[in-house]
Amino acid sequence: MFEKNLHIISCSINNERTLLAVSFCQYTEEERATQLLQSVSKYLTLLIEIHPINNVRVLKAVDSCVRVQFLYPVEGRNTSRESRLLLVSEDKYIEQFDIHVVAEEEHKVVIQKSGQLPRAKVVDDLVWAQWDMMEQRLFYIVPKESKSTLRCVQFYPEENFSSILESHLDIAVNDTQLKLVNFGYDSCQDQDVASKSLNLQVFTSKAGGLCMCCSLVSDIPHEIIYSIYFLHKGYNKTFTVSLERAESHKLKEVAFMNLDYYVAAYLPGQFLHLLNIQHPDMLCYSLFLTGEDARIDMLQNCSIRSPWVSAVLDCNAGSLYHVSISDSALLQLLQKSKRDCERLAALHCALLYFEHTEDLEMQIIRWISENLSTCHSFDPIQEFIIASLYCRMCLETQNLDKLLPYTSLHDWIGAVPGVICATDIISLPVLEFQNSKGFWEKLNSNLESVKYAEPRLHYHSKVLRREWRNLSEEREERRTTAYLRNIFENAKKVLSHLDTWDSEARLVPLFEEEDYQQQLLMGLMVAQLKDHLMRHLQYVGKKKIDQIVLDYVANLLNLVHRIMKEVWRRYQLHSCIFCFDERGSAAEFAVFHIMSRILEAANGMCMPLPPGFHTLHLGLGVRCLPLHTLLHYIDNGILQLTETCVRKLLKDLDDTEQNEKLKFSIVMRLPEALGQKVRQYWNHPINANLIARKYVKLLLEKLGNRQVCIHMKNKTM
């Protein structure tokens, strides 16, 4: 220590810990006035050699405040003979110093004494700047005509830097004083600047998201306004929040936190708004919390900043915290929420933010089974399946997240209580780079997808549904065509990709049986999803796309089976439920209801179900429903007659009057092809009479057709 009682403005140490840069205030205004030191510069910036001590060089002696920041272009570089230092001046410019050092005996390092240090101007005339220490990026804003311009400089390991991004902004930035973010914290200056400029910060995400967050001034008391510019999507959202318990003396500016997949807008004691960066188009995927739900105990009534992803700095106490979303708290919120918007946002966050674990899936499935009738604006089964598939598959291949659906909703017209949102289209950023990797490559991919109408890139089942219906109606005529043979070959590949079900999984008696309709749907989904991906992922290769598609459909079937397994375990059903001589229990009826909702969800998304699902569903229906309700379900397509279940029903039930009525009603509703297979298992006069009547009817129809043909021939003669 060579000075005492210094007011340090900024300091930074180089990567090798051999050099220290420090900027400090030599005299206050009062000291100048009393000691007549007007000729002495107020601020001094020094470069100090640590080994040996006290070799000092003056970099700046000025009356304007200076911040210092060493660059760390390569992590763990210990043998470099050159360090680079950024100097950020209150006079609105940033320059870079190149510092060459020489190693002496006993590991001492000294600066080369060759005159002035080489330096280069990085940016001039800026009004706001933010340093990204993890990725070595400098974001800054310069006023340009009527609009401001956001730019970014990327610093590279090869000792150079380049401007890489430019985005025009429609916000007015106060240019009376420079505002700096992540260049250290000076309480006196920062509080003074904060009162005169925008609270603005830029966040990036691993998936190529680029957001600019800023709080705006409202003319209405107790109203908070802030905007999130989703630059990678081409629009911004401005939120107006009316505070429930407004206490003006406690109100502070909104703090923004970077959680990678989410950006959080936080006003202590008032609200916590988690905004989805990847899918910000619908508000139902952003979670708005108030009251105790929005409380962050360690960050109450303090000034905070987010210097990098998942980190928060308490500026008053100087404490750095790691911040993340709690999965247990999120599940509690999911269970107690009364609004659909909160339920959907919490469910979406739980499925896409956290790594999939069996315990998390089990708790979500349990919540779904208990809340099937409470969610009105979305289907929780559909959301669980689609979001889970999206999360599992999109990690495999780049850009797959832009092609697979991430939600079961096409739009959402609801509102978040207490929040007004306005959306505006903004111009996309311009990237100036060649062959950049990592974040910049992903950002460029996001921008390209926006240019080419992103919503149309996501796979949709509309065409699949139409083709499935057409083939189902024409199955007898086209069954032997090469096209259909290829479809069923696809289905066989999917079934071969299914996980081997262990003894516990076989707790659910799903039969691996022939199911023409479901295999047709499986094969069609494979074919159409493959065509969709081939149009946009040609560079991946056909073999890889084939694997992705088969995994996608197989995972879909496994997810349905996972739901069934958890429901089966919860209601403690045994596997031998196909005994039709007794009525079903309350637990079986509950499972039947859940299976009906799974079927409804599958029909809504036109997705296939595991082999044997309809057999199990029909078996539970026979045990649980009164006859008139059972027949109503069959007539309306909720229950589908399968060969396995009908054959067992005809063979196992004795011919009491009630059972005869049940069997006759079922047999009368059988499709002709299925009826010819299973009627032989019911040796009863009613069945024999029915077979005879159908046979006579068939003969009459053939005779009638023959007479028509003879009549037509006579007429032509």
Tokens (6 digits) for 34: 């009393």
CA dist., res. 662 & res. 454, Å (int): 53
With contact defined as beta carbons under 8 Å apart, do 405 and 458 qualify?
yes
Helix (H) / strand (E) element for 257: namely strand 255-258
Which of 312, 287, 288 shows the shortest CA–CA distance to 302?
Answer: 312
Sheet containing 199-204: order of strands: 199-204, 210-216, 223-230, 235-242, 419-425
Residues (pLDDT < 70) of the chain are 1-3, 28-39, 53-54, 74-80, 105-107, 114, 174-176, 186-197, 245-251, 453-456, 474-480, 499-513, 575-577, 675-676, 679-699, 701-717
619 dihedral zone (left: phi>0; alpha: psi -120 to 50; beta): alpha
CA dist., res. 495 & res. 492, Å (int): 5
Tokens (6 digits) for 622: 């026979």
CA distances from 76 to 17, 131, 223 (A): 11, 20, 47
Estimate to the nearest angstrom the gap between the alpha carbon of 469 and the chain centroid. 32
CA dist., res. 91 & res. 95, Å (int): 12
Strand partners, 161: 155
Amino acid letter, residue 250? K
Segments in 65-172 forming alpha helices (H): none
Helix (H) / strand (E) element for 120: namely strand 119-124
> What b/e sequence results for 451-483 when a residue is b if at least 16 CB atoms lie within 10 Å of its CB, and e otherwise?
eeeeeebbbbbeebeebbeebeeeeeeeeeeee
CA dist., res. 384 & res. 362, Å (int): 12
With contact defined as beta carbons under 8 Å apart, do 614 and 515 qualify?
yes
Residue by residue, DSSP assigns 601-659 as HHHHHT----TTHHHHHHHHHHHHS-HHHHHHHHHTTSS---HHHHHHHHHHS---HHH
With contact defined as beta carbons under 8 Å apart, do 126 and 141 qualify?
yes
Tokens (6 digits) for 246: 């407004």
CA dist., res. 200 & res. 256, Å (int): 9
Alpha-carbon radius of gyration of the chain: 35
Residues in the chain: 717
CA dist., res. 183 & res. 319, Å (int): 16
Quickly tell me which residue has 């070595």 as its tokens.
Answer: 136
Estimate to the nearest angstrom the gap between the alpha carbon of 612 and the chain centroid. 33
CA distances from 105 to 57, 99, 128 (A): 21, 20, 44
> What b/e sequence results for 687-709 when a residue is b if at least 16 CB atoms lie within 10 Å of its CB, and e otherwise?
beebbeeeeeeeeeeeeeeeeee
With contact defined as beta carbons under 8 Å apart, do 24 and 44 qualify?
yes
* Cis preceding-peptide flag for 626 (omega within 30 of 0): no
CA angle in degrees (0–180, nearest 5) for 635-641-645: 140
Give SS3 for 558.
Answer: helix
Q: pTM for the whole thing?
A: 0.86
Which of 41, 46, 47 shows the shortest CA–CA distance to 62?
Answer: 41
CA dist., res. 110 & res. 87, Å (int): 20
Give SS3 for 105.
Answer: helix
- What's the pLDDT score for residue 54? 64
Residue 229 main-chain phi, psi, to 5 deg: -90, 105
690 dihedral zone (left: phi>0; alpha: psi -120 to 50; beta): alpha
Pairing relation of β-strands 179-181 and 128-132? parallel
